[in-house]
Structures are given as C-alpha cells and as structure tokens.
Amino acid sequence: MLKIAVLVSGSGSNLQAIIDNIESGYLNCSIEAVISDKKDAYGIDRAKAKDIKTYILDRKQLGINISSEILKILDGKVDLIVLAGFLSILQGELLHVFKNKIINIHPALIPCFCGGGMYGMKVHEKAIEYGVKVSGCTVHFVDEGTDSGPIIIQKVVDVYSTDTAKDLQLRVLKQEHKALSEAIKYISDGRITIKGRKVLGI
C-alpha cells in the first residue's frame, strides 16, 4: 500500500477526491498526513473528519524554511507527496530526499499559464484573456523549478466565448479530481518510469 501525504492551502476538494477514491477501492493507498500552509484551510477540516493526522505550517512565519519543516514531518514516513492546491514553493533538501516522489496539479495545460505567480483563479483569468479554445489541468512531478517537472497526465476542457474565469475553473476542477487520482494510481501500480522529460507507462 502506497503511503502518501497531501499538502493543501485551500478548500481541499482535490484531497476529498483522493479520500473518496481510497474509500471506493480505486486507490490502494493511505493518507498518512495532511499539511497546510494556511491555518484556515478547509482541507484541514476534511482531513480531521476522516481522522487523518494534520499539520499546520504558517508560511508567513516560516517563509523559505517551510520545506525543511515538511521534510522533518515526512522523511521516512511516506512514499509520495501530493500537492493538491498547495501554494508554497518547495525547495532545498526536501526535493532531493523525495526526488520523483512529489507530484503537483496545475490548473492549466503546462507549459501554458504556469510558473511564478500563476496559481488559482489567476490562471483561468489569463486563459480567458488570451482567448484560448481549450484549457485543462496538468499533473507533473515537482523539481527545482516552478511547474517545470516531467508531465504525468493532462486533461483537456473546452473554453467557450461566454466563459468567465469562474466557469472555466469549475470545468477544469472536475478534471483535476480525476487526473490527480489517476496519477497516484499509476505510481502506486508501479507503472511509471521517467526518461528525461518523458513520463512513460501511462
């Protein structure tokens, strides 16, 4: 059984999707910890409701030290770290200890609308502003860059001329809930190998 930690900053709907997929039997894994960088993140409430161990690391207080605190909590305890709407940028020793064992979901089709400052609703606002006809979400491995690691899964949605950023966000979010659990399943099944930027076995 794959042991995972889920890192959240907000409502935790992707965390809930993972919990639901574990309970349905789709995922053969256990959530050993949920960590938030915001004390009022609803994702923490979702975890507590399922008796999952929770940790709050205030990013305003810890700053760049948040990665080392996460490492202290998770080193030797989990096989995979899942970033599910986690806003703090991971860096340092954590990335080396968990090399190719950290995944993130981004609400756009990387390499579009990603990188520094591109998160949450800002991503969808930029997609609408640019006039793209499709958008979607990307699950990727985390490396030293921002949204720059090898891509595991991408899901595509149509973008309509009448869409607001909120409309697009809701449509993409439905695909996020599928994509993140699919990526976890591929990893837990041992199907994935990485060659350069290419993720094989999907």
Candidates 96, 106, 124, 177; catalytic one: 106
For the question of residue 106 being annotated catalytic, the response is yes
- Hey, what are 183's tokens? 């990526």
Asked if residue 126 lies in contact with residue 87, where contact means CB atoms within 8 angstroms, the answer is: no
At 166 the three-state DSSP class reads helix
Phi, psi at residue 49, to the nearest 5°?
-65, -20
Alpha carbon distance 172, 159 (integer Å): 10
Alpha carbon distance 33, 69 (integer Å): 13
Phi, psi at residue 131, to the nearest 5°?
85, 25
With tokens 């900053």, the residue in question is 9
Which residues are annotated as catalytic?
106
